[in-house]
Structure 1
Amino acid sequence: MSFDSFLSKLKTKASELKTEALKYKNKDFLNAAMAGSALIAMADGSVSAEEKQKMVKFIESNEALSVFTTTDVIKAFQDFVSQLEFDKDIGEAKAYQALGKMKSNVEASRLLVRMIIAVASSDGNFDGNEQRVASKIAKELNLNPAEFELQ
């Protein structure tokens, strides 16, 4: 093996490690984003195709989360939705627990609230149930709902 080949392999491995490190570093944000998306999507009792598409587009366009495959994103979202469908109280507790891990990061918390509002309004209707859930999520993240024009 030549030195150039060895160096190339080393660079590839370093890049793979960086990607893996980023994935674990942002796993809490991914879970919080999917928990919030599931809560807001289920606020009206069902998850629309528009809500799913908006959530996936957000994850794909977010640099910090672009290390996750669409399959990872969809699986995390479906896990939270399944928990909510199976037992609403336990599902909500798990979703708010995932969101709570982001409380100390104000910038990430604001991004999460903006994202869940975008997901909720993607079907053209941001109804009272969705607004209440968005407000509750903002409070859970120690943010003032009024900052997002929520009551």
Structure 2
Amino acid sequence: MSIMDKFGGFLNNAKQTSMSTMKRFTNKNFLDAVVAGCALVAAADGNISGSEKQTMVGLIENSEALKVFKTAEVIERFNHFASGFEFDPMIGKQEALKAMLKIKGNQEEAKMCVTICCTIGSADGNFDKNEQQAVRDIYNALGLSPTEFGI
């Protein structure tokens, strides 16, 4: 089974998560973790593409877990983290991981964050090695098992 088959299976399972479970993720730490992770993955290939930004906003607007947040707030937080990568990639990564560590103790939030970040990584049609490594960095920082994500 190829890595993309495993990843596809993981994404299909994640999509089947119940709405009642997703409603638990309506806090600012979770929002920051998600947008920080999205910025980290999007910046991993050296370019935060429009498709990655559009996918993130679309996911948040359509997610029961995140649509409680105003789109303007989501964009503002994403731009905050993205600007760290523009200033210096290592500083951007450190700031993003710092924000994500606030959800480390909550396995459900951490898994949902990684799921969304994986979706961002494949948003431009190419989930490249750098983006996959960024996702690995995220799940390692959050204390999640790599076998759960097939990457």
Q: State the TM-score bracket (shorter-chain normalisation).
A: 0.7 to 0.9
Deviations 1:105-148 (A, max 9, x none): 10111111110010110111111111111011011110012210
The residue aligned with 2:106 is 105
Is the Cα contact below 8 Å between 1:26 and 1:64 reproduced in 2? Answer: no
The residue aligned with 1:19 is none
Aligned to 1:119, what secondary structure does the other structure show? Answer: helix
Tell me the TM-score normalised to structure 2 length: 0.80
Report deviation, 1:53.
1.0
Distance 2:27 2:128 in 1: 30
Task: Provide structure 1 residue ranges, at least 5 long, that are not aligned to the other structure.
Answer: 1-21
Report deviation, 1:37.
0.3
Tell me the TM-score normalised to structure 1 length: 0.80
The yes-or-no answer on 1:76 pairing with 2:77 is: yes
Report deviation, 1:89.
2.1
Higher share in helix? 1
The residue aligned with 1:50 is 51
Total equivalences in the alignment: 127
Aligned to 1:68, what secondary structure does the other structure show? Answer: coil
- Greater C-alpha radius of gyration: 1
Distance 1:50 1:68 in 2: 21
Which amino acid in structure 2 is aligned with residue 52 of structure 1? K
Alignment identity in percent? 46
Report deviation, 1:73.
0.5
Distance 2:132 2:65 in 1: 27
Report deviation, 1:29.
0.6
Task: Provide structure 2 residue ranges, at least 5 long, that are not aligned to the other structure.
Answer: 1-22
RCO comparison, higher one (Cα < 8 Å, 6+): 2
Moved segments of 4+, more than 6 Å: none
